[in-house]
Amino acid sequence: RLELTPHDIHVLRVLAERENDCWEALRLDPTAVPGDVVAPLLSHPGTSVLWEGLDRVFNYRVPSGGAAQRGFVSLTDEVRAHLSMVFHRFLAGEARRRRRVAILVNGARIDPWDPYARGERHTRALAPQRIPLKPRAAGALTVRPYVLPPQERFSSAVAHSRASGPLRWNRQQGFYFYRNDRLVQAGGWARLRTSDEHTKLARVAIDL
């Protein structure tokens, strides 16, 4: 018999409501959900998310068919890449005053994606700057620019492909805004300039 307390176990049921065109997140009684959902939380506190009704997200004629299965696999890969990017500081243990976080999708741990390829020998980290928000205002922006190496100077073709990011090289160039170490904007130049081939290796971390 398992003694589960609300303080230690939190299970959210995420349901896609096709009729209302929205997502609903409901807190569940841990004793009323499948055991494999609760099992990872028995040794430590955390949150499990149970996604149901996902067949309603797609308009496949045969929800159990091969096309639907391939669509779910592709969507899973997109979710994994997005989480790897948005929470890369937490996954890598770089978030300030926070423990390292583990995120698993279908039981597989997600590795952090470093937008700046700092593990590459030829990545250039330029001098960081602090920019005041306005005269005499509290706080400032911390800006850390990086220039990634060209393809031929990457350690491998696999490393170059991974560094391109979920949106690929041209769309991943630009500013990376963080708030409390969570990435809230990945790429783009915030209307200061347009993205083009000549600046695709430039990525700038900005902490709010």
- Gyration radius (Cα) of the chain, Å: 21
Q: Is 81 exposed, middle or buried (0-12, 13-18, 19+ CB in 10 A)?
A: middle
Predicted pLDDT of residue 13: 60
Predicted pLDDT of residue 11: 55
Predicted pLDDT of residue 3: 46
Apex 115 CA angle, 113 and 117, nearest 5 = 90
Predicted pLDDT of residue 8: 47
Q: How far apart are CA 86 and CA 182, in angstroms?
A: 6
Predicted pLDDT of residue 35: 74
Which tokens is 25 given?
């997140």
pLDDT in tens, the chain (208 residues): 334 454 445 555 665 555 566 666 666 666 777 777 777 777 777 777 777 666 666 777 777 788 878 888 888 888 899 999 999 999 999 998 888 989 988 888 999 999 999 999 999 999 999 988 876 667 788 999 999 999 999 999 999 999 999 999 999 999 999 999 999 999 999 999 999 999 999 999 999 8
Buried b (16+ CB within 10 A) or exposed e, 164-201: bbbeebeebbbbbbbeeeebeebbbeeeeeebeeeebb
- Calculated CA dihedral for residues 192, 194, 198, 201, nearest 10 degrees: 70
Predicted pLDDT of residue 129: 94
